[in-house]
Amino acid sequence: MTEKPGRSPVQSDLLGALPGDGQKNATTQRRRKSGKVSRKTAIQPSCLPVSEPETEHTIRQAGAATLPKSQTTDVPRKVARKPENPLQGNLFARPLPPRPRPPRTQFEADELRISTAPASSFSPQAAPDSWLYLVTEPDTASQFLDHGLPLRKTHPSLLTERGGVVHWLAKMTEEPAGHFAAPPVVLRVRRTMVAAWLEPDPDHSAEFSAPCYLLSGSKQEQD
Least trusted range by pLDDT, from 100-109, 129-138, 150-159, 201-210: 100-109
pLDDT digits (tens, 9 = 90+) for 42-77: 445 444 555 555 555 555 555 555 555 555 455 556
Question: In degrees, to the nearest 5, what angle opens at C-alpha 181 toward C-alphas 178 and 187?
Answer: 125
Cα distances (Å, whole numbers) of residue 90 to 84, 86, 98, 131, 145? 11, 9, 18, 53, 52
Q: What is the pLDDT of residue 55?
A: 54
Threshold 0.85, pTM exceeds: no
b/e code 109-146 from CB counts within 10 Å (16+ = b): beebebeebeeeebeeebeeeebbbbbbeeeebeebee
- What confidence score (pLDDT) does residue 38 get? 47
Which range, of 2-6, 62-66, 76-80, 177-181, averages the lowest pLDDT?
A: 2-6
Strand pairing partners for 132? 189
Distance between CA atoms of 159 and 215, rounded to whole angstroms? 7
pLDDT the model gives residue 33: 55
CA torsion sign for 137, 141, 144, 147 is: negative
